[in-house]
């Protein structure tokens, strides 16, 4: 049914919130203060509606710059892109919503009421647009283009532009899709990365399996796209048993740790190793985490050190760093970058190695943790067993962040400060940083 709705709020997942006959309605592409016409499914309970048109725009609505953003009507196959959620919202509104999302997760899951701990304003991204240096795509075989999926579907959006990507990465995306089609190479997923410093890119191509045919045709692609410095070919399967990706050319890129400031150091990266996509905001994140941690002249334990995103900055200030990481390729890149520095690397699972340090009586002045999205269950007891006076916890998921912070409080720590950091403008995603201090 077609209804007129007044949008009063934003949901944690990014949709506008309205009420229709007592039912909560979630409307994508709507902004607080909008009056909209929406298609609302019949039934009871919460409804996920479709935006038909905006009757009266709210005060925070802006014109989205991208042709692929927003609701799609009949015949509009290039709309409803799932890459963005908030291109229609003023950036300060996005930041305030991310502050709310973190506070609500800490209240609901962490059982910390607002005002019971310091919560800083959200740290903005230096670039709200054109900030991504890496992204994952799907190959639209019919149109020979790299595509994002439509919102809540597996239908491809035939991209002509993406306002989240660095301009050069967008150009590489535009060139690579047709090159793959010409070579008759059909990967299931394509991960692209770009380095402004190296002025070239690299790609990871995922297939069901990789044989001689894929390798030969990938060589054609590498010759066909001058901006592509290297390729990695990966077959699907059990991640514990599958071989390392097959490399063509040089898929390792050198990037500036602080974009525009090569004197602050370079780092190695490649598309199959996790790195933050927003290098501009990441530089801010690293500085913030170290300022909270105060690692100067301390022995520091870093868990989930990855390819050394924080490790290099830690090594410049700490007496020594024990860096723990389970992913082999990431460790390899970090070792190459930080050879000769006061860092000792440990390959293995973070909780197990941390517990081993505690049993050995190893003591650290500070701990830095940057786990993947599922967080680190058992973080609080581990910090207690290590008797560490303070730790900084970096998370990309408010729910697991709040859960783990609650565990740390139960283990005798207090939340010194929580800071939301905007690594992904135009989406609801938010990075969370916490200083945890041992209660006296």
User: What's the full length of the chain, in residues?
Assistant: 440
Alpha-carbon torsion angle 153, 163, 125, 200, nearest 10: 100
| Cβ(206)–Cβ(189) below 8 Å | yes
Alpha-carbon torsion angle 241, 242, 247, 251, nearest 10: -80
**pLDDT on residue 22:** 87
| Cβ(333)–Cβ(270) below 8 Å | yes
DSSP code string of 371-417: --TT--TTHHHHHHHHT-SEEEEEES-HHHHHHHHHHHHHTTEEEEE
If residue 366 lies in a helix (H) or strand (E), which one and from where to where? strand 366-369
Query: For the purposes of burial, counting CB atoms within 10 Å of the CB of 127, is it exposed (0-12), middle (13-18) or buried (19 or more)?
Result: middle
**pLDDT on residue 242:** 66
Second CATH level (architecture) for the domain 134-256 = Beta Barrel (2.40)
CA distance 404 to 295: 22
Query: In this structure, which CATH number among 3.40.50.360, 3.40.640.10, 3.40.50.150, 3.30.470.20 belongs to the domain 95-126+278-438?
Result: 3.40.50.150
| Stretch(es) of the chain classified as CATH 2.40.50.1070 | 134-256
Helix 398-410 vs helix 379-386: crossing angle, to nearest 10: 40
**On the CB side of 421, how many CA atoms lie within 13 Å of its CA?**
25
CA angle 354, 359, 365 (to 5 degrees): 60
| Cβ(247)–Cβ(219) below 8 Å | no
CA distance 255 to 133: 10
Q: Are strands 23-27 and 47-48 parallel, antiparallel or unpaired?
A: parallel
pLDDT along the chain (440 residues), means of 10: 92 90 92 94 87 94 93 76 93 96 96 96 97 96 91 86 97 97 96 97 95 95 97 80 85 96 94 96 98 96 96 95 92 93 94 96 96 95 96 97 97 97 97 94
Question: What is the model's pTM?
Answer: 0.92
CA distance 420 to 99: 6
Provide the greatest CA pair distance for the chain: 67
Q: Are strands 320-325 and 343-347 parallel, antiparallel or unpaired?
A: parallel
Look up tokens 């953003």; give the residue. Answer: 69
| Cβ(56)–Cβ(34) below 8 Å | yes
Give the contacts of 330 (CB within 8 A, at least 6 positions apart). Answer: 273, 274, 305, 306, 307, 308
DSSP code string of 267-317: EEE-TTS---SBHHHHHHHHHHHHHHH--TT-EEEEES-TTTTTHHHHHHH
Q: Are strands 23-27 and 16-20 parallel, antiparallel or unpaired?
A: antiparallel
| Stretch(es) of the chain classified as CATH 2.40.50.140 | 2-61
Distance (Å) of CA 164 to CA 75, 227, 424, 429: 25, 19, 9, 14
**pLDDT on residue 21:** 82
CA distance 322 to 129: 36
**pLDDT on residue 66:** 94
CA distance 288 to 392: 10
Active-site residue numbers?
396
Distance (Å) of CA 184 to CA 212, 284, 373: 14, 42, 35
Give the contacts of 161 (CB within 8 A, at least 6 positions apart). Answer: 66, 67, 68, 170
CATH homologous superfamily of domain 2-61? Nucleic acid-binding proteins (2.40.50.140)
């Amino acid at each position: 049914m077609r209804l007129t709705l007044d949008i009063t709020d934003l949901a944690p997942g990014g949709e506008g919130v309205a009420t229709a006959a007592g039912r909560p309605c979630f409307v994508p592409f709507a902004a607080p203060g909008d009056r909209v016409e929406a298609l609302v499914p019949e039934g009871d309970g919460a409804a996920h509606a479709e935006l038909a048109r905006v009757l009266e725009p709210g005060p925070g609505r802006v014109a989205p710059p991208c042709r692929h953003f927003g609701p799609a009507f009949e015949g509009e196959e290039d709309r409803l892109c799932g890459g963005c959620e908030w291109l229609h919202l003023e950036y300060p509104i996005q930041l305030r919503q991310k502050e709310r999302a973190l506070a609500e997760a800490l209240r609901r899951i962490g059982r910390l009421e607002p005002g019971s701990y310091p919560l800083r304003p959200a740290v903005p991204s230096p670039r709200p647009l054109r900030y991504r240096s890496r992204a994952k795509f799907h190959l639209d075989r019919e149109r020979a283009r790299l595509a994002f999926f439509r919102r809540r579907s597996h239908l491809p959006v035939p991209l002509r532009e993406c306002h989240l990507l660095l301009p050069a990465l967008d150009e590489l995306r535009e060139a690579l899709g047709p090159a793959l089609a010409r070579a008759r190479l059909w990967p299931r997923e394509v991960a692209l990365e770009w380095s402004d410093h190296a002025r070239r890119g690299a790609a990871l191509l995922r297939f069901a399996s990789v044989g001689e045919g894929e390798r030969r045709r990938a060589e054609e692609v590498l010759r066909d796209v001058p901006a592509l410095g290297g390729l990695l070919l990966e077959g699907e399967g059990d991640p514990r048993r599958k071989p390392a990706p097959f490399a063509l050319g040089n898929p390792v890129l050198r990037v500036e740790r602080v974009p525009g400031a090569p004197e602050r150091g370079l780092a190695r990266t490649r598309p199959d190793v996790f790195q933050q996509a927003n290098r501009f905001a990441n530089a801010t994140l690293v500085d913030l985490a170290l300022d909270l941690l105060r690692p100067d002249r301390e022995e520091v334990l870093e868990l989930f050190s990855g390819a050394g995103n924080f490790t290099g900055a830690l090594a410049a200030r700490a007496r020594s760093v024990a860096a723990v990481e389970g992913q082999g390729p990431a460790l390899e890149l970090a070792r190459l970058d930080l050879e000769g520095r006061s860092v000792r690397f440990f390959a293995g699972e973070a909780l197990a190695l941390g517990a081993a340090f505690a049993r050995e009586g190893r003591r650290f002045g500070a701990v830095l943790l940057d786990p993947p999205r599922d967080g680190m269950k058992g973080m609080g007891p581990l910090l207690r067993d290590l008797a560490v006076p303070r730790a900084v916890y970096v998370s990309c998921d408010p729910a697991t962040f709040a859960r783990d912070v609650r565990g740390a409080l139960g283990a005798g720590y207090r939340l010194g400060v929580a800071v939301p950091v905007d690594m992904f403008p135009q989406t609801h995603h938010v990075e969370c940083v916490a200083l945890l201090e041992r209660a006296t």
